[in-house]
Amino acid sequence: MFPFSKRYHSDDDGQLARKLEEQERELMQNQEREDFKRLQSLHGFDQGRNMNRQSDATLFQSVQRGNMSAVDYHEKRIMLKMSEKIGVDDGSSATRGAAQTNMIISDIFNLFCKQI
């Protein structure tokens, strides 16, 4: 063995570790980007559409289906624009009581399965 081989190998190991760490970080970032794009596509935010355009389209579809009046549509749009400008979520899009409902349904399902 060469007298400098121990130092040389430790320097190589450090460089290799940094290189592997960098490659792993790049792979994770690429995976996160792909996952994000997939989620955007799944929820209709792909093809250059942003959340504002998507929410406007959803509100308009509600009017077309008769689920919302034109007045309600315009009021809702104004409220969304105001909350976006202020930066405060009014919570109107949240599903209230979903967790509790899921627990009740789960309990009923479990009781049903026990009876079978």
**57-107 pLDDT, tens per residue?**
888 888 999 998 999 999 988 888 887 777 766 666 666 777 788 888 888
Residues 37 and 62 in one domain: no
The domain total for the chain is: 2
Q: Is 86 exposed, middle or buried (0-12, 13-18, 19+ CB in 10 A)?
A: exposed
Match 């450090």 to its residue by tokens.
14
| Residue-level pLDDT at 69 | 92
Q: Is the pLDDT of residue 48 over 60?
A: no
Q: Is the pLDDT of residue 26 over 90?
A: yes
Q: Is residue 40 part of a domain?
A: yes
| Residue-level pLDDT at 9 | 61
pTM, entire model: 0.37
| Residue-level pLDDT at 45 | 65
Mean predicted lDDT score pLDDT of the chain:
79
Q: Is the pLDDT of residue 5 over 60?
A: no
Q: What percent of the chain has pLDDT over 70?
A: 76
Q: What's the rounded Cα separation, in Å, for the pair 12 and 76?
A: 62
| Residue-level pLDDT at 18 | 93
Residues 44 and 1 in one domain: yes
Residue 101: which H helix or E strand, with range? helix 98-115
Residues 26 and 60 in one domain: no
Residues 37 and 1 in one domain: yes
Domain with 34, as residue range(s), is 1-48
